[in-house]
Structure 1
């Protein structure tokens, strides 16, 4: 490596470290949490060891029964039973009650535990309960990835769909991508004429117009979304204007609707569509249009056959940027949307902050990352890498 290459590597190293520490490492940890299963093995190591030698037929031997009685009592005293109960209850409703009841009665139970445990609760005499415990001993699990797509494992270990009334996440992803596609289409349609106009303006008007486009970045997304929360209230300015103009006889319910979510997202993300389009359009050579005019092409023909194809990379880049930001948006749906308008990001935040279920949060994040990655790859293929800053 010559001196120039060493200097270049030295200059790039901080950027690579930043990417590694702020993106690649967190993403890797997130993907790992989606398949990790360590709560049961950490709190009940002897039980986990005893179940590893069990063939899954009938009930395990006395050593497994004795180990779980002893370790559940110790976990209750050490206040570590909550993680185990939460993990097992997520797979099978009612497991929390079973574990807490057993741990509180552990001092009163006597050997042989293969008799006393089922006498305390009949579920300890079921093979399915022990099979669930064996699956939860880790170190890896497919539970969260399956549940994030509305699948689960039967007591026999077979993958099957959850009951119809419990299916949620596939609809959630379809809703998220549907809203994001609608927002993207609206932003592209609104941004294209704005970007075209700014690109054709002369200085200093072009600079003034670009400043107006950039003004929304001077305030946070939370502030801009909160403004829509105020504007769209039943007693807000929008309803007051509708009533004053005679366009409505009573206040219209706009907060908590899909309309409010789309409107807030379009307002927040529109500049992200304008900027890539403008950056492409401002570099287009006007001589192509003059050449087309000299060959007899009218205004519509010049736009459709010359300007639009040349500006398409900017359109795709702007659309991709809006879509990628939209699918991960949390603030706007949470503030102005209803229960049926929440997107994947809201559920991820809910699992992390309220349910403290990092596995499900990581699984939803992994699927969202994979799907948005597929969109990026598609845009790269369609534009030869130009739209996202690469070169084919």
Structure 2
């Protein structure tokens, strides 16, 4: 029976043996440092150009500095306010002090715009009150401000200010899912006429799922041909698969507008063949969006499927047929299960790319076919409401991550691996 070596045994080892062990450890340490130095530039690149922008975007969805910076005295006066009645003279005096302060006009404008998101007309109220109090005499200010504008006598006005007594806010995130906070800080649904974002998210995921399914139905047989034809023929077909990548996305989308219009080539061909007697509405609706997005994203479905099919050994299908299985049975029982990893990867890739598409739905779709990306761009470029745009993007990110985790569990981890 063998026993573990004692410390005396180790000390009795030749010095060369001890030095060789130390040298092996140093060699492994140097290799680890070398590998880390090679990975460090990529990690730094991801931190600067991927993780930091995403983190900054997520933070903007809860960042709330404007009101705290423009109305510091008013917020201090409202800390003990219960919200059940209009605050007292001290709050009105603090408001006048903030409005009279010789601060940055742009800062006051940002704060007024931020409050205007929660209560329409707040921006006008702030600047009109600011002009009126500059020449106002000493207090009491409460009757003076209420007489100047009755809105200062409403709970909703002061509740909007009091809700922003924190550097963080959930206003934008709640708005992104059609929720809001009431005067007593309770969370409730917005009015039905204002509830738009949940419908837009549903539309986005529905269109993305439809595009993914169409791409899989069209891409599977094409990938099968690529994998089983001769090398020379498959190379020619692969050239046509990759050809769209050499054309600008905007050019491809614009081309579909020309082809699908009422007097375009597609309608002319359908009427020439006698399939239709009148031109069909194929553009600026859901049909045009599905056609154009499928054309753009079809290569992303074909390539993962082709990669999986090319790695399948044809001997399994031939063995099944030699044992008496029909070609259709051999395909569905032997070949198709081996292509599931490619189907899972292709479907997920096309779906995720579709969720974030902006140019194609914006140009080819109608007003009822715009996806969430169009509204993110609208709040960023037109309304300059970065908080709301960031909140919409954050909800989209969480939704996609949740759907991915569900998809991963349904398909299984082995189905998500390309061979």
Query: What TM-score comes out, normalization by structure 1 length?
Result: 0.94
Q: CA deviation at 1:109?
A: 2.8
| Equivalent residue in structure 1 for 2:128, among 77, 98, 101 | 101
Q: Secondary structure at the match of 1:228?
A: helix
Match of 2:273 in 1: 245
Match of 1:42 in 2: 69
Give runs of aligned pairs for residues 312-351 of structure 1, distance below 5 A: 312-351=340-379
Q: Secondary structure at the match of 1:103?
A: helix
| Equivalent residue in structure 1 for 2:119, among 80, 92, 95 | 92
User: Does residue 120 of the first structure (1) align with residue 148 of the second (2)?
Assistant: yes
User: Does residue 219 of the first structure (1) align with residue 247 of the second (2)?
Assistant: yes
Match of 2:292 in 1: 264
Deviation per residue, 1:208-234 (Å, 9 max, x gap):
222211111011221111111121223
Deviation per residue, 1:193-218 (Å, 9 max, x gap):
01111011221222222221111101
Match of 2:262 in 1: 234
CA contact (8 A) 1:38 1:137 kept: no
CA contact (8 A) 1:273 1:321 kept: yes
More deviation, 268-277/136-145:
136-145
Deviation per residue, 1:226-285 (Å, 9 max, x gap):
111121223322233233334444433322111001111100000000011111110011
Distance 2:293 2:86 in 1: 55
Match of 2:336 in 1: 308
CA contact (8 A) 1:281 1:311 kept: yes
Q: Aligned in 2, Cα 1:158/1:309: closer, same or farther, shift over 3 Å?
A: same
Query: What TM-score comes out, normalization by structure 2 length?
Result: 0.88
Q: Aligned in 2, Cα 1:164/1:207: closer, same or farther, shift over 3 Å?
A: same
Unaligned runs of 5+ in 2: 1-27
CA contact (8 A) 1:317 1:379 kept: no
Q: Aligned in 2, Cα 1:61/1:218: closer, same or farther, shift over 3 Å?
A: same
Q: Secondary structure at the match of 1:192?
A: helix
CA contact (8 A) 1:265 1:326 kept: yes
Deviation per residue, 1:96-119 (Å, 9 max, x gap):
222122122121333111221111
Match of 2:213 in 1: 185
Q: Secondary structure at the match of 2:319?
A: helix
CA contact (8 A) 1:117 1:124 kept: yes
Match of 1:31 in 2: 58
Deviation per residue, 1:291-336 (Å, 9 max, x gap):
2122211111111111111100100100000000001100111001
User: Does residue 5 of the first structure (1) align with residue 32 of the second (2)?
Assistant: yes
How large is the Cα RMSD of the aligned pairs?
2.0
Distance 1:75 1:300 in 2: 82
Unaligned runs of 5+ in 1: none
Distance 1:109 1:212 in 2: 75
Match of 2:402 in 1: 374
Q: CA deviation at 1:61?
A: 4.1
Match of 1:255 in 2: 283
Q: CA deviation at 1:192?
A: 0.3
Distance 2:281 2:177 in 1: 33
User: Does residue 18 of the first structure (1) align with residue 45 of the second (2)?
Assistant: yes
Q: CA deviation at 1:63?
A: 3.7
CA contact (8 A) 2:83 2:184 kept: no
Q: Which has the larger radius of gyration?
A: 2
Q: Aligned in 2, Cα 1:389/1:290: closer, same or farther, shift over 3 Å?
A: closer
CA contact (8 A) 2:379 2:389 kept: yes
Q: Secondary structure at the match of 1:172?
A: helix
Give runs of aligned pairs for residues 68-83 of structure 1, distance below 5 A: 68-74=95-101, 78-83=105-110
| Equivalent residue in structure 2 for 1:361, among 389, 395, 404 | 389
User: Does residue 204 of the first structure (1) align with residue 232 of the second (2)?
Assistant: yes
Deviation per residue, 1:110-167 (Å, 9 max, x gap):
3111221111111212233212101123211111111111111111111111111111
Q: Aligned in 2, Cα 1:4/1:386: closer, same or farther, shift over 3 Å?
A: farther
More deviation, 37-46/138-147:
37-46
CA contact (8 A) 1:70 1:106 kept: no
Q: Aligned in 2, Cα 1:121/1:30: closer, same or farther, shift over 3 Å?
A: same
Match of 2:86 in 1: 59
Match of 2:170 in 1: 142
Distance 2:66 2:362 in 1: 31
